[in-house]
A and B are shown apart, each in its own frame.
Chain A
Protein backbone atom coordinates (compact mmCIF):
# COMPACT_ATOMS: atom_id res chain seq x y z
CA UNK A 1 0.00 0.00 0.00
CA UNK A 2 1.43 3.27 -0.99
CA UNK A 3 1.50 5.77 1.86
CA UNK A 4 0.39 8.53 -0.46
CA UNK A 5 -2.68 6.78 -1.71
CA UNK A 6 -4.72 7.83 1.30
CA UNK A 7 -4.54 11.32 -0.04
CA UNK A 8 -6.51 10.54 -3.12
CA UNK A 9 -8.81 7.98 -1.71
CA UNK A 10 -8.19 5.86 -4.78
CA UNK A 11 -5.49 3.60 -6.02
CA UNK A 12 -2.62 5.63 -7.42
CA UNK A 13 -2.55 5.47 -11.15
CA UNK A 14 0.50 4.13 -12.84
CA UNK A 15 0.93 6.92 -15.34
CA UNK A 16 1.77 9.51 -12.72
CA UNK A 17 4.22 7.43 -10.78
CA UNK A 18 7.60 8.94 -10.04
CA UNK A 19 9.18 7.07 -12.93
CA UNK A 20 6.77 8.04 -15.67
CA UNK A 21 7.49 10.85 -18.10
CA UNK A 22 5.61 13.65 -16.29
CA UNK A 23 6.99 12.41 -13.00
CA UNK A 24 10.53 12.61 -14.36
CA UNK A 25 9.86 16.06 -15.75
CA UNK A 26 8.52 17.21 -12.38
CA UNK A 27 11.51 15.73 -10.57
CA UNK A 28 13.85 17.50 -12.99
CA UNK A 29 11.96 20.76 -12.48
CA UNK A 30 12.14 20.48 -8.70
CA UNK A 31 15.85 19.67 -8.81
CA UNK A 32 16.59 22.52 -11.19
CA UNK A 33 14.62 24.88 -9.00
CA UNK A 34 16.54 23.84 -5.90
CA UNK A 35 19.87 24.22 -7.70
CA UNK A 36 18.79 27.62 -8.94
CA UNK A 37 17.86 28.72 -5.42
CA UNK A 38 21.19 27.46 -4.12
CA UNK A 39 23.09 29.38 -6.78
CA UNK A 40 21.10 32.57 -6.40
CA UNK A 41 20.86 32.82 -2.61
CA UNK A 42 22.98 35.61 -1.24
CA UNK A 43 26.52 34.71 -0.41
CA UNK A 44 29.41 36.95 0.38
CA UNK A 45 30.84 37.23 -3.09
CA UNK A 46 28.82 38.18 -6.11
CA UNK A 47 29.60 35.98 -9.05
CA UNK A 48 28.26 36.76 -12.48
CA UNK A 49 28.57 33.23 -13.85
CA UNK A 50 26.69 31.55 -11.03
CA UNK A 51 24.08 34.28 -11.25
CA UNK A 52 23.35 33.63 -14.90
CA UNK A 53 23.50 29.87 -14.37
CA UNK A 54 21.01 30.17 -11.52
CA UNK A 55 18.67 32.29 -13.62
CA UNK A 56 18.84 29.78 -16.48
CA UNK A 57 18.14 26.87 -14.12
CA UNK A 58 15.24 28.77 -12.59
CA UNK A 59 13.78 29.38 -16.04
CA UNK A 60 14.15 25.70 -16.89
CA UNK A 61 12.44 24.75 -13.65
CA UNK A 62 9.52 27.08 -14.31
CA UNK A 63 9.22 25.72 -17.85
CA UNK A 64 9.08 22.21 -16.43
CA UNK A 65 6.32 23.15 -14.01
CA UNK A 66 4.38 24.87 -16.79
CA UNK A 67 4.77 21.85 -19.05
CA UNK A 68 3.45 19.49 -16.40
CA UNK A 69 0.48 21.68 -15.57
CA UNK A 70 -2.95 20.41 -16.52
CA UNK A 71 -4.74 21.90 -19.51
CA UNK A 72 -7.64 24.05 -18.47
CA UNK A 73 -9.65 23.87 -21.65
CA UNK A 74 -9.63 27.35 -23.11
CA UNK A 75 -6.54 29.20 -24.31
CA UNK A 76 -7.77 32.39 -22.65
CA UNK A 77 -8.09 31.03 -19.15
CA UNK A 78 -4.82 29.18 -19.52
CA UNK A 79 -3.05 32.39 -20.50
CA UNK A 80 -4.58 34.34 -17.62
CA UNK A 81 -3.82 31.67 -15.03
CA UNK A 82 -0.28 31.22 -16.35
CA UNK A 83 0.41 34.94 -16.26
CA UNK A 84 -0.80 35.58 -12.72
CA UNK A 85 0.79 32.44 -11.29
CA UNK A 86 4.12 33.17 -12.97
CA UNK A 87 4.04 36.70 -11.55
CA UNK A 88 3.31 35.28 -8.10
CA UNK A 89 6.02 32.61 -8.21
CA UNK A 90 8.78 34.64 -9.86
CA UNK A 91 8.37 37.60 -7.54
CA UNK A 92 8.14 35.25 -4.56
CA UNK A 93 11.51 33.82 -5.57
CA UNK A 94 12.88 37.32 -5.96
CA UNK A 95 11.58 38.14 -2.47
CA UNK A 96 13.84 35.60 -0.85
CA UNK A 97 16.78 36.13 -3.22
CA UNK A 98 17.18 39.89 -3.17
CA UNK A 99 19.89 41.31 -0.94
CA UNK A 100 18.32 44.58 0.07
CA UNK A 101 15.37 44.11 2.44
CA UNK A 102 13.50 47.08 0.98
CA UNK A 103 13.56 45.48 -2.44
CA UNK A 104 12.47 42.23 -0.77
CA UNK A 105 9.38 44.02 0.48
CA UNK A 106 8.67 45.51 -2.94
CA UNK A 107 8.98 42.10 -4.60
CA UNK A 108 6.68 40.71 -1.96
CA UNK A 109 4.09 43.33 -2.92
CA UNK A 110 4.30 42.18 -6.53
CA UNK A 111 3.93 38.58 -5.39
CA UNK A 112 0.81 39.62 -3.49
CA UNK A 113 -0.58 41.10 -6.69
CA UNK A 114 0.02 37.78 -8.43
CA UNK A 115 -1.62 35.84 -5.61
CA UNK A 116 -4.60 38.17 -5.75
CA UNK A 117 -4.84 37.44 -9.47
CA UNK A 118 -4.80 33.69 -8.79
CA UNK A 119 -7.56 34.13 -6.21
CA UNK A 120 -9.61 36.12 -8.71
CA UNK A 121 -9.20 33.41 -11.32
CA UNK A 122 -10.31 30.88 -8.72
CA UNK A 123 -13.50 32.86 -8.26
CA UNK A 124 -12.73 34.45 -4.90
CA UNK A 125 -13.38 38.09 -5.71
CA UNK A 126 -13.63 39.33 -2.16
CA UNK A 127 -10.47 37.56 -1.06
CA UNK A 128 -8.49 38.86 -4.02
CA UNK A 129 -9.37 42.43 -3.21
CA UNK A 130 -8.94 41.86 0.52
CA UNK A 131 -5.45 40.47 -0.05
CA UNK A 132 -4.46 43.62 -1.88
CA UNK A 133 -6.07 45.92 0.68
CA UNK A 134 -5.01 44.19 3.88
CA UNK A 135 -1.64 42.77 2.90
CA UNK A 136 -0.24 45.24 0.41
CA UNK A 137 -2.03 48.21 1.91
CA UNK A 138 -1.52 47.64 5.61
CA UNK A 139 0.83 44.83 6.57
CA UNK A 140 3.45 45.52 3.93
CA UNK A 141 3.47 49.23 4.69
CA UNK A 142 4.01 48.36 8.35
CA UNK A 143 6.99 46.21 7.32
CA UNK A 144 8.38 49.10 5.31
CA UNK A 145 7.96 51.48 8.24
CA UNK A 146 9.90 49.14 10.50
CA UNK A 147 12.58 48.73 7.82
CA UNK A 148 12.97 52.48 7.55
CA UNK A 149 13.09 52.80 11.34
CA UNK A 150 15.51 49.98 11.93
CA UNK A 151 17.69 49.82 8.84
CA UNK A 152 21.28 50.58 9.68
CA UNK A 153 23.23 52.73 7.28
CA UNK A 154 24.61 50.95 4.29
CA UNK A 155 23.99 47.41 3.25
CA UNK A 156 24.39 45.17 6.24
CA UNK A 157 26.70 42.19 6.11
CA UNK A 158 23.99 39.81 7.28
CA UNK A 159 21.95 40.64 4.19
CA UNK A 160 24.75 39.40 1.98
CA UNK A 161 25.27 36.00 3.57
CA UNK A 162 22.71 33.28 4.08
CA UNK A 163 22.80 30.46 6.57
CA UNK A 164 23.07 26.96 5.14
CA UNK A 165 21.86 27.64 1.58
CA UNK A 166 22.64 24.12 0.35
CA UNK A 167 20.78 22.31 3.14
CA UNK A 168 17.81 24.65 2.87
CA UNK A 169 17.58 24.20 -0.89
CA UNK A 170 17.67 20.43 -0.47
CA UNK A 171 14.98 20.60 2.20
CA UNK A 172 12.83 22.75 -0.06
CA UNK A 173 13.34 20.34 -2.96
CA UNK A 174 12.30 17.38 -0.80
CA UNK A 175 9.18 19.17 0.43
CA UNK A 176 8.19 20.40 -3.02
CA UNK A 177 8.83 17.00 -4.55
CA UNK A 178 6.59 15.29 -2.00
CA UNK A 179 3.88 17.90 -2.45
CA UNK A 180 3.88 17.72 -6.23
CA UNK A 181 3.88 13.93 -6.11
CA UNK A 182 0.88 13.93 -3.79
CA UNK A 183 -0.95 16.54 -5.87
CA UNK A 184 -0.26 14.64 -9.09
CA UNK A 185 -1.60 11.42 -7.62
CA UNK A 186 -4.56 13.26 -6.21
CA UNK A 187 -5.71 14.89 -9.38
CA UNK A 188 -4.84 12.01 -11.67
CA UNK A 189 -7.40 9.88 -9.92
CA UNK A 190 -10.39 8.83 -11.96
CA UNK A 191 -13.30 11.16 -12.07
CA UNK A 192 -15.41 8.62 -10.25
CA UNK A 193 -13.13 8.48 -7.25
CA UNK A 194 -14.04 11.56 -5.21
CA UNK A 195 -17.73 11.54 -5.95
CA UNK A 196 -18.58 11.33 -2.31
CA UNK A 197 -17.71 14.95 -1.83
CA UNK A 198 -19.53 16.23 -4.86
CA UNK A 199 -16.91 17.62 -7.20
CA UNK A 200 -19.82 18.67 -9.33
CA UNK A 201 -18.45 22.13 -9.64
CA UNK A 202 -21.18 22.89 -7.18
CA UNK A 203 -22.99 26.00 -6.29
CA UNK A 204 -19.92 28.15 -5.84
CA UNK A 205 -17.88 27.64 -8.96
CA UNK A 206 -20.78 27.90 -11.30
CA UNK A 207 -21.89 31.25 -9.94
CA UNK A 208 -18.58 32.73 -8.93
CA UNK A 209 -19.61 35.82 -10.83
CA UNK A 210 -22.93 36.02 -9.05
CA UNK A 211 -23.82 39.41 -7.71
CA UNK A 212 -24.47 38.14 -4.22
CA UNK A 213 -21.28 36.13 -3.74
CA UNK A 214 -19.99 38.45 -1.05
CA UNK A 215 -23.38 38.35 0.65
CA UNK A 216 -23.26 34.57 0.71
CA UNK A 217 -19.73 34.64 2.05
CA UNK A 218 -20.85 37.00 4.78
CA UNK A 219 -23.78 34.77 5.62
CA UNK A 220 -21.41 31.81 5.93
CA UNK A 221 -18.93 33.82 7.97
CA UNK A 222 -21.42 35.29 10.41
CA UNK A 223 -23.66 32.24 10.47
CA UNK A 224 -21.69 29.07 10.90
CA UNK A 225 -18.48 30.71 12.07
CA UNK A 226 -19.79 33.42 14.35
CA UNK A 227 -17.91 32.21 17.42
CA UNK A 228 -14.66 32.10 15.45
CA UNK A 229 -15.26 35.65 14.24
CA UNK A 230 -15.67 36.77 17.84
CA UNK A 231 -12.50 34.94 18.82
CA UNK A 232 -10.53 36.57 16.00
CA UNK A 233 -11.84 39.97 17.01
CA UNK A 234 -10.69 39.35 20.56
CA UNK A 235 -7.31 38.20 19.21
CA UNK A 236 -6.94 41.44 17.26
CA UNK A 237 -7.72 43.47 20.37
CA UNK A 238 -5.29 41.46 22.49
CA UNK A 239 -2.48 41.79 19.97
CA UNK A 240 -3.09 45.53 19.72
CA UNK A 241 -2.91 45.95 23.49
CA UNK A 242 0.04 43.60 23.67
CA UNK A 243 2.02 45.51 21.07
CA UNK A 244 1.40 48.80 22.86
CA UNK A 245 2.31 47.25 26.22
CA UNK A 246 5.57 45.81 24.92
CA UNK A 247 6.59 49.10 23.34
CA UNK A 248 5.74 51.24 26.37
CA UNK A 249 7.32 48.85 28.85
CA UNK A 250 10.44 48.67 26.73
CA UNK A 251 10.70 52.43 26.67
CA UNK A 252 10.16 52.61 30.41
CA UNK A 253 12.89 50.06 30.97
CA UNK A 254 15.26 51.97 28.71
CA UNK A 255 14.49 55.17 30.60
CA UNK A 256 15.15 53.39 33.90
CA UNK A 257 18.48 52.16 32.60
CA UNK A 258 19.42 55.65 31.49
CA UNK A 259 18.50 57.07 34.87
CA UNK A 260 20.49 54.41 36.68
CA UNK A 261 23.50 55.05 34.46
CA UNK A 262 23.35 58.76 35.12
CA UNK A 263 23.07 58.15 38.84
CA UNK A 264 26.11 55.92 38.71
CA UNK A 265 28.03 58.47 36.69
CA UNK A 266 27.23 61.38 39.00
CA UNK A 267 29.33 60.82 42.12
Chain B
Protein backbone atom coordinates (compact mmCIF):
# COMPACT_ATOMS: atom_id res chain seq x y z
CA UNK B 1 0.00 0.00 0.00
CA UNK B 2 2.84 2.33 0.79
CA UNK B 3 4.41 1.65 -2.55
CA UNK B 4 1.09 2.39 -4.19
CA UNK B 5 0.67 5.88 -2.86
CA UNK B 6 4.14 7.16 -2.42
CA UNK B 7 6.06 7.74 -5.60
CA UNK B 8 9.69 8.30 -4.97
CA UNK B 9 11.48 9.28 -8.14
CA UNK B 10 10.91 12.74 -9.61
CA UNK B 11 10.10 11.37 -13.05
CA UNK B 12 7.37 9.18 -11.59
CA UNK B 13 6.00 12.22 -9.78
CA UNK B 14 5.94 14.05 -13.08
CA UNK B 15 4.14 11.12 -14.68
CA UNK B 16 1.47 11.15 -11.99
CA UNK B 17 1.02 14.88 -12.56
CA UNK B 18 0.72 14.37 -16.32
CA UNK B 19 -1.83 11.58 -16.10
CA UNK B 20 -3.95 13.33 -13.49
CA UNK B 21 -3.94 16.56 -15.51
CA UNK B 22 -5.11 14.62 -18.57
CA UNK B 23 -7.96 13.10 -16.57
CA UNK B 24 -8.90 16.52 -15.26
CA UNK B 25 -8.84 17.99 -18.76
CA UNK B 26 -11.09 15.22 -20.09
CA UNK B 27 -13.58 15.71 -17.26
CA UNK B 28 -13.62 19.47 -17.81
CA UNK B 29 -14.18 19.08 -21.54
CA UNK B 30 -16.98 16.56 -21.07
CA UNK B 31 -18.69 18.97 -18.70
CA UNK B 32 -18.27 21.81 -21.21
CA UNK B 33 -19.81 19.78 -24.03
CA UNK B 34 -22.64 18.76 -21.73
CA UNK B 35 -23.44 22.30 -20.69
CA UNK B 36 -23.38 23.43 -24.32
CA UNK B 37 -25.58 20.73 -25.75
CA UNK B 38 -28.06 19.55 -23.17
CA UNK B 39 -31.33 21.39 -22.83
CA UNK B 40 -32.51 20.13 -19.46
CA UNK B 41 -31.63 22.72 -16.82
CA UNK B 42 -30.74 20.14 -14.19
CA UNK B 43 -28.49 18.21 -16.55
CA UNK B 44 -26.78 21.49 -17.39
CA UNK B 45 -26.03 22.00 -13.71
CA UNK B 46 -24.75 18.44 -13.44
CA UNK B 47 -22.38 19.24 -16.30
CA UNK B 48 -21.17 22.34 -14.45
CA UNK B 49 -20.44 20.17 -11.42
CA UNK B 50 -18.52 17.84 -13.74
CA UNK B 51 -16.31 20.75 -14.78
CA UNK B 52 -15.68 21.51 -11.12
CA UNK B 53 -14.61 17.90 -10.60
CA UNK B 54 -12.07 18.20 -13.40
CA UNK B 55 -10.66 21.34 -11.81
CA UNK B 56 -10.47 19.59 -8.43
CA UNK B 57 -8.45 16.70 -9.89
CA UNK B 58 -6.03 19.13 -11.53
CA UNK B 59 -5.61 21.18 -8.35
CA UNK B 60 -4.88 18.15 -6.21
CA UNK B 61 -2.40 16.87 -8.80
CA UNK B 62 -0.52 20.18 -8.72
CA UNK B 63 -0.64 20.16 -4.95
CA UNK B 64 0.93 16.72 -4.88
CA UNK B 65 3.59 17.78 -7.35
CA UNK B 66 4.61 20.83 -5.38
CA UNK B 67 4.25 19.10 -2.05
CA UNK B 68 2.06 21.66 -0.32
CA UNK B 69 -1.56 21.99 0.70
CA UNK B 70 -2.61 24.92 -1.46
CA UNK B 71 -4.54 22.81 -3.94
CA UNK B 72 -6.26 20.88 -1.18
CA UNK B 73 -7.46 24.10 0.43
CA UNK B 74 -8.76 25.37 -2.90
CA UNK B 75 -10.67 22.14 -3.46
CA UNK B 76 -12.31 22.52 -0.06
CA UNK B 77 -13.43 25.99 -1.09
CA UNK B 78 -14.70 24.55 -4.38
CA UNK B 79 -16.82 22.08 -2.42
CA UNK B 80 -18.33 24.87 -0.32
CA UNK B 81 -19.03 27.15 -3.28
CA UNK B 82 -20.52 24.25 -5.24
CA UNK B 83 -22.91 23.58 -2.38
CA UNK B 84 -23.99 27.25 -2.35
CA UNK B 85 -24.35 27.28 -6.12
CA UNK B 86 -26.44 24.12 -6.16
CA UNK B 87 -28.76 25.42 -3.44
CA UNK B 88 -29.44 28.78 -5.11
CA UNK B 89 -29.53 27.39 -8.64
CA UNK B 90 -31.96 24.62 -7.80
CA UNK B 91 -34.30 27.15 -6.21
CA UNK B 92 -34.26 29.15 -9.44
CA UNK B 93 -34.79 25.98 -11.47
CA UNK B 94 -37.82 25.13 -9.36
CA UNK B 95 -39.21 28.66 -9.82
CA UNK B 96 -38.65 28.42 -13.57
CA UNK B 97 -40.37 25.06 -13.64
CA UNK B 98 -43.28 26.49 -11.73
CA UNK B 99 -43.75 29.20 -14.34
CA UNK B 100 -43.37 27.17 -17.52
CA UNK B 101 -43.97 23.59 -16.48
CA UNK B 102 -40.83 22.53 -18.28
CA UNK B 103 -37.20 22.11 -17.36
CA UNK B 104 -36.25 23.25 -20.83
CA UNK B 105 -33.68 25.98 -21.27
CA UNK B 106 -35.31 26.92 -24.57
CA UNK B 107 -38.55 27.67 -22.76
CA UNK B 108 -36.94 30.98 -21.86
CA UNK B 109 -35.87 31.92 -25.34
CA UNK B 110 -38.16 34.94 -25.35
CA UNK B 111 -35.35 36.55 -23.35
CA UNK B 112 -32.97 36.28 -26.30
CA UNK B 113 -31.57 39.17 -28.27
CA UNK B 114 -33.83 40.58 -30.93
CA UNK B 115 -31.47 39.72 -33.78
CA UNK B 116 -31.27 36.03 -32.94
CA UNK B 117 -33.50 33.51 -34.56
CA UNK B 118 -35.89 31.38 -32.64
CA UNK B 119 -34.93 27.83 -31.70
CA UNK B 120 -37.40 25.44 -33.27
CA UNK B 121 -37.45 21.80 -32.33
CA UNK B 122 -37.23 19.39 -35.14
CA UNK B 123 -40.23 17.15 -35.25
CA UNK B 124 -39.66 14.09 -33.15
CA UNK B 125 -40.70 10.90 -34.89
CA UNK B 126 -43.73 9.27 -33.43
CA UNK B 127 -42.01 5.91 -33.25
CA UNK B 128 -39.60 7.31 -30.73
CA UNK B 129 -42.14 7.02 -27.92
CA UNK B 130 -41.39 3.46 -27.05
CA UNK B 131 -43.86 1.66 -24.80
CA UNK B 132 -42.69 1.36 -21.19
CA UNK B 133 -40.92 -1.84 -20.31
CA UNK B 134 -41.71 -2.94 -16.79
CA UNK B 135 -40.17 -5.94 -15.10
CA UNK B 136 -42.41 -8.96 -14.81
CA UNK B 137 -42.78 -10.17 -11.27
CA UNK B 138 -44.33 -13.35 -9.95
CA UNK B 139 -47.71 -12.48 -8.40
CA UNK B 140 -47.71 -12.65 -4.63
CA UNK B 141 -50.08 -11.49 -1.94
CA UNK B 142 -53.36 -9.72 -2.40
CA UNK B 143 -53.91 -7.38 -5.30
CA UNK B 144 -54.37 -3.91 -3.82
CA UNK B 145 -57.42 -1.90 -4.75
CA UNK B 146 -56.34 0.85 -7.06
CA UNK B 147 -58.20 3.95 -8.04
CA UNK B 148 -58.63 3.58 -11.78
CA UNK B 149 -59.01 7.29 -12.32
CA UNK B 150 -55.60 8.04 -10.95
CA UNK B 151 -52.48 7.06 -12.83
CA UNK B 152 -50.17 5.29 -10.49
CA UNK B 153 -47.04 5.13 -12.53
CA UNK B 154 -45.10 7.35 -14.81
CA UNK B 155 -44.38 5.99 -18.21
CA UNK B 156 -40.67 6.57 -17.90
CA UNK B 157 -38.26 7.29 -15.16
Contacts and interface: CB of A to CB of B under 8 A. Distances in A.
- The answer to whether A and B assemble together is yes
Interface of A: 37, 41-42, 44-46, 65, 69-74, 76-77, 80-81, 85, 88-89, 92-93, 95-96, 100-105, 108, 111-112, 115, 118-119, 121-124, 126-127, 130-131, 134-135, 138-139, 142-143, 146-147, 149-165, 167-169, 171-172, 175-176, 179-180, 183-184, 186-187, 191, 197-209, 216-217, 220-221, 224-225, 228, 232, 235-236, 238-240, 242-243, 246-247, 250, 254
Contacts of A127: 56, 60, 72, 75-76
Interface stretch (B13-21, B110-118, B140-148): B13-21
Nearest to A250: B95
Contacts of B119: 163
A69 B19 contact: yes
Contacts of B81: 232, 235
B43 A96 contact: yes
Given A162-B39, A172-B32, A115 B66 contact: no
A104 B82 CA distance: 18
B89 to A, nearest CB: 9
Interface residues of B, number: 100
A220 B76 CA distance: 12
B23 A45 contact: no
Nearest to A77: B4
A175 B34 CA distance: 14
Interface string B93-127: 11101100111111000000000000101111100
B7 A134 contact: no
B69 A204 contact: yes
Contacts of B43: 95-96, 101, 104, 159
Most buried by B among A157, A158, A162, A165: A158
A23 to B, nearest CB: 14
Contacts of B70: 220
A62 to B, nearest CB: 9
Given A95-B34, A201-B9, A239-B85, 19 more contacts: A45-B124, A65-B26, A71-B15, A72-B12, A73-B12, A73-B15, A77-B3, A96-B38, A104-B40, A108-B50, A122-B57, A158-B102, A176-B29, A184-B18, A187-B21, A202-B66, A204-B63, A221-B69, A236-B83
